[in-house]
Amino acid sequence: MDLLSKLTKLLAKADIQLTDKQKQQLVDYVGLLHKWNKAYNLTSVREPEQMLVRHIMDSIVVNGHLKGNKFIDVGTGPGLPGVPLAIVRPDAHFVLLDSLGKRVRFLKQVQHELGLTNIEPVQFRVEEYPANEGFDGVISRAFASLNDMLSWCHHLPAKEGRFYALKGVVRDEELAQLPEGFEIESITELKIPELDEQRHLVKLLKK
């Protein structure tokens, strides 16, 4: 099965509607990820079909839970979940932040080849990134612990902004170790078609 048909099937299972252009951009992104992965070692997932499940669907199932239109994806790596979310949410702006130059170079190539005007790849250490106006959402996937995320990213959200942590298993001891001044708004179990692993979205607020 070609990648576009596979993606269409996965989207139907997740009840997500996208335009033909958005589907093509997601497939083209997987193509770039696969091509650059050989030299840049961007992801441990090697097969494009698995990238559709583990990277694309894993990212875009979060879209309906996001509020606002100005986001920062911290520790974005090769652009996950920021690039897929930017494709399915074209009216929102995404800063894609990573400290590794090769990843940011890859993201600039993605930006150029896919014509994505709503992503902004930046090379920065997250704790040093100047967030002058703040973001509606601070997103992380496979980032360090919640404690580290909140400690390093505390300056990034706007007054009403939220933290969105994409996690696998959510452990009670991790939730118990939140820094002072933050609270959990919700924990949502996410269902990814054809992925037999736990996924959760943890939403947090500054008190």
Binding site for S-adenosyl-L-methionine, residues? 75, 80, 126-127, 141
Assess contact for 30 and 10: CB atoms under 8 A. no
Annotated binding site: 75, 80, 126-127, 141
DSSP 78-124: TTTTHHHHHHH-TTSEEEEEES-HHHHHHHHHHHHHHT-TTEEEEE-
Cα-based angle 19, 78, 76 (whole degrees, multiple of 5) = 95
**Closest C-alpha among 191, 190, 183, 187 to residue 202:** 187
Assess contact for 116 and 144: CB atoms under 8 A. no
